[in-house]
Amino acid sequence: MPTSVLILGAGFGGLELSTRLSEELAGAVEVTLIDQNDSFVFGFSKLDVLFGRRSLDDVRHFYRDIAKPGVEFRQETVTSIDPDTRRVVTTGGTYDPDILVVALGAGYAPEATPGLLEDGWEFYSEEGAARAAGAVSQFTSGTAVIGVLGPFFKCPPAPFEAAFLLHDFLAARGVRDATAIHVVTPLPKPIPISDEVSRAIVSQLTERGIEFWPSSKFTRLDPATHTAHLEDGRELAYDLFLGVPVHRAPQVVLDSGLAENGWIPVDVRTFATPFPDVFAVGDVTSAPVPRAGVIAEGEADTLADVLIARIRGGGDVPPYAGAAVCYIEMGGEMVGGVDVNFLSGPSPTAVLRPASPEVAEEKRAWADDRRRRWFS
């Protein structure tokens, strides 16, 4: 009998894991991949939508195009998870798999910051980026604030990419001199594990006249005065507020008993949870790595190795190294690369590759490869 594997969530982690299992265990596994959405969007594509370079429809990759042996996609919403029995209930039915993998990602809680829904724009969800695009297109003077509203968030470079692209967007329209741009974050520096990479990003911000406020936490926005209030008592008036919203695990995960302190604990060597035959990868876990698509993909690759060895009767597999490449859009069609490694050495490392057309092409090839592998 084939081993039944149920994967909840079809983001980077779920797509990579289902692809690997299909490629290497066809006939030995039956994979069901569940997501509440009908399509996948690369995180970096939301910036294309935000600045009007592409429409939301243009950046969607539809799950109906998945055609892999042993993999069935179902568009359903997960309503309950019982990790003791591995029973999952969705809007489409009940599942009792041999192996359960939770890859539901991190959700957004814009309501956690008073005033954001009334007077700001979150741009981290696809729909949020599409809504915010209208406000960005109408912004021609005054102060724009890109504010990080929680202590951790997906893709640490993204707020800075947004600032660089906003600078270019305004300059191309001839209104940059009539505007000010602030990037505000509770983190002490752009990339906490690397002074070198952080200095390079801050230097690029300074070169473009973009204000950077590190170690600064917003508590609320005042829609009546268009003023953002900070924990230390400072205030910052704005004409456009683009927010990176507070991140939270999906409520169905919090209700399941899987989470501790808000996220699912895992053994980073195997991504096993404390519950037998229940695994978790990606942003929904409390693994000591950033929340990012490339990280979730790497975790899924390690879990694939674990499951392949188990089903084939093999031995132990190498633990997850925490290594990945993060790309940073610097504007002007230039992209930089940061080679990170979080778990292989005594401390995390990050090495910057300067922005260039060559790295931009590398990023395009990276995305094309995943489109081909996951959706063909």
Q: Residue 217 sits in a domain of what CATH number? A: 3.50.50.60
DSSP string, 259-305: -BTTBB--BTTTTB-SSTTEEE-GGGB--SS---HHHHHHHHHHHHH
Write the single-letter amino acid at 79.
Answer: T
d(CA 137, CA 122): 15
76/138 same-domain check: no
98/52 same-domain check: yes
Look at residues 109, 135, 110 and name the one whose alpha carbon lies nearest to residue 49. 135
In a 3-state reduction of DSSP, which class is residue 110?
Answer: helix
Question: 69 lies in a domain?
Answer: yes
234/135 same-domain check: yes
235/147 same-domain check: yes
| Structural domain range at position 183 | 110-246
20/61 same-domain check: yes
d(CA 114, CA 55): 29
The predicted structure's pLDDT at residue 152: 87
**Domain count of the fold of the chain:** 2
Which letter does DSSP use for residue 63 in this model? G
The predicted structure's pLDDT at residue 370: 97
Is the pTM value of this prediction over 0.85? yes
Strands 3-8 and 99-102: parallel
The predicted structure's pLDDT at residue 18: 98
Task: Per-residue pLDDT tens, the chain, 376 aa: give them.
Answer: 899 999 999 999 999 999 999 999 989 999 999 999 999 999 999 999 999 999 999 999 999 999 999 999 999 999 999 999 999 999 999 999 999 999 999 999 999 999 999 999 999 999 999 999 999 999 999 999 999 999 989 998 999 999 999 999 999 999 999 999 999 999 999 998 889 999 999 999 999 999 999 999 999 999 999 999 999 999 999 999 999 999 999 999 999 999 999 999 999 999 999 999 999 999 999 999 989 999 999 999 999 999 999 999 888 899 999 999 999 999 888 999 999 999 988 989 999 999 999 999 999 999 999 999 999 8
Tokens of 326: 């993060």
125/192 same-domain check: yes
In a 3-state reduction of DSSP, which class is residue 186?
Answer: coil
Residue 119 CA to chain centroid, in angstroms? 24
The predicted structure's pLDDT at residue 376: 81
